[in-house]
Amino acid sequence: MRVATLVCCALVASSALHAQSHPQTRSGFNISFGFGSGSAGVSCDGCESDRRNSVAGYLRIGGTLKPNLILAGESSAWTKEEDDARVTISTLNLVGQFYPSVTNGFFLLGGLGAGRVGASVTSGSTTVTSSGNGMGYELGTGYDWRLGTNFSLSPFLTYFGTSGVKIEGDKLNGNVFVIGLGLTWH
The reply to whether the predicted model has a pTM over 0.95 is: no
Q: For 79-119, what is each residue's pLDDT tens digit? A: 999 888 899 999 999 999 999 999 999 999 999 999 999 98
Query: 19 vs 74, which has greater pLDDT?
Result: 74
Residue 52 β-bridge partners: 40
Query: Does residue 55 surpass a pLDDT of 90?
Result: yes
Question: pLDDT band at 33, cuts 50/70/90?
Answer: very high
Question: pLDDT at position 21, please?
Answer: 61
Question: pLDDT at position 162, please?
Answer: 96
CATH level 3 topology of 2-185: Porin (2.40.160)
Domain locations along the chain: 2-185
Ramachandran class of 164: left when φ > 0, alpha when ψ lies in -120 to 50, beta otherwise = left
Question: pLDDT at position 9, please?
Answer: 46
Query: 97 vs 121, which has greater pLDDT?
Result: 97
Mean pLDDT for the chain overall = 87
Q: Which residues of 91-123 are buried (b: 16+ CB within 10 A; e: fewer)?
A: bbbebbbebeeeeebebebebebebbbbbeeee
How far apart CA 60 and CA 74 sit, in angstroms, is: 4
Q: For 7-32, what is each residue's pLDDT tens digit? A: 444 444 444 444 456 778 788 899 99
Question: pLDDT at position 7, please?
Answer: 41
How far apart CA 144 and CA 25 sit, in angstroms, is: 11
How far apart CA 10 and CA 6 sit, in angstroms, is: 6
How far apart CA 61 and CA 73 sit, in angstroms, is: 6
